[in-house]
Structure 1
């Protein structure tokens, strides 16, 4: 038993050294943020999180589907999320949630551990928002934990895996990954003002490869690949077909 505990501790230590920005639960996120409370933006982030936590009156009875759309920038996530939300008469959410939008520019300029902590805590804020809605409406999310984790993993030379969903975070029923060729993705991104990470995706093929592999290494839930090179209508139909077959969902 002692040897087993020693082995587990050693493996966890190695894992944390390899992926210092990949958080396994909310406590590990808060531990990073609490080291940076000298920043007003960190204080505000923690205030918003605590406020959302207080508003949470769960556990709620989950009656509807929690659907996540993932993929690299330019894969069509936002467009598909809007279309599916309309067809399902659901609610669309984005990660980070709207209540954190004003803080995003600050955290995007920080080092990876603090930047990832912002996006990770944003996932928990979003989960509190979505939990009550799932009693009455389907919730469709543009990016969630898989994105946060995959970008953190892709910062390293080795992807490894598999990687499990955090046990304390609201889990999606299905995660669609919109897989697009680099030619199509670059076309769609041509007229966007690129962030630092988007610029890196454009210029660094190895980073793109690691990022894709990280998404594929996720499990419990894993991602369901959808061909994103097709027309928007065809991609929508393909996703709808999956939802109809697997969950007997009716569309408007």
Structure 2
């Protein structure tokens, strides 16, 4: 049978025999020429201990998810010669890092996939709380998004990471004067990057206590993060009704149910601060009322 498979007069093969407890395997290497089959080597194989970190961590930390200003900054700094736009982004980042201390008013971040009601909710909160409404990435980076979206993950994610730090500067300034509502922030940057990088099933994501979910040590921390969720079919209906052009990641979310699940699970696993999950399927008035109760509880407003 083997000869028929390899179509050759000469071939090599390995056989494996397990010990009764399954902890030790014997590997025999055989070589056959013509009708002669001889054992040429023998090895013993033991089961390796489970690694402390999932192998995907090596491809995530500071390559697609950045945990400090310096790490993201360094990547774009090395790109200045081949990507001239990097210089302008770095100049904005230099200016913003001079003031990123949160003011005395609370900062509320609203997270979620597209068509979960973020825009409606953030606008309503801005009016009721008489606060400032900001978005991440900030508008000042809009002119370069298409340029960096075309780059490899290492560079693209560094660009968006710096966008969070630039947003933090705006948040710090506005939170000295009034409450601040932010439409997406670091949770989105990390969740999409992790879900994109990790292949396989939902179980392939790093464990809940993995360091990939930790908040950057030098990034302004919000007082409350709300994650809006809706059923997939309801979200699809809302997207169809909006009739807007889809982003590459949004098209992937719609076409790949597993990817959507990984993004949402990554959202849930980020800690310090963790997301408070809200079902956004009910009416916008009900969702607003529930979020206002959360703000009252967590932000003393």
TM > 0.5 between the two?
yes
Larger mean Cα displacement after TM superposition, 102-111 or 116-125: 102-111
Aligned with 2:94 (options 45, 50, 75): 50
Mapped partners of 1:245, 1:22: distance in 2: 31
Aligned with 1:184 (options 214, 224, 234): 234
What does residue 175 of structure 1 align with?
225
Q: Which has the larger radius of gyration?
A: 2
What does residue 267 of structure 2 align with?
215
Alignment of 1:228-247 (within 5 A): 228-247=280-299
Q: Does residue 23 of structure 1 match 2:75?
A: no
What does residue 159 of structure 1 align with?
205
What does residue 40 of structure 1 align with?
84
Secondary structure of the residue that 1:170 maps to in structure 2? coil
Secondary structure of the residue that 2:246 maps to in structure 1? coil
Alignment of 1:192-203 (within 5 A): 192-203=244-255
Alignment of 1:56-75 (within 5 A): 56=99, 59=101, 62-75=103-116
Mapped partners of 1:187, 1:25: distance in 2: 38
What does residue 135 of structure 2 align with?
94
Mapped partners of 2:230, 2:177: distance in 1: 33
Mapped partners of 2:56, 2:136: distance in 1: 29
Per-residue displacement from partner, 1:183-233 (whole Å, max 9, x unpaired)? 111111111210111100010111111111101111111000011111111
Secondary structure of the residue that 1:36 maps to in structure 2? coil
What does residue 131 of structure 1 align with?
172
- 1:125–1:222 Cα change, 3 Å: same
Aligned with 2:144 (options 98, 103, 106): 103
Mapped partners of 1:221, 1:73: distance in 2: 21
Mapped partners of 2:299, 2:269: distance in 1: 24
More helix per residue: 1
Per-residue displacement from partner, 1:105-132 (whole Å, max 9, x unpaired)? 2112222221111111000001011112
Name stretches of at least 5 consecutive residues in structure 1 with no aligned partner.
1-9
What's the RMSD between the two structures over aligned residues? 1.8
More strand per residue: 2
Secondary structure of the residue that 1:137 maps to in structure 2? coil
> Could you tell me the TM-score, scaled by structure 2's length?
0.74
> Could you tell me the TM-score, scaled by structure 1's length?
0.88
What does residue 146 of structure 1 align with?
187
Q: How many residues align?
A: 237
Name stretches of at least 5 consecutive residues in structure 2 with no aligned partner.
1-51
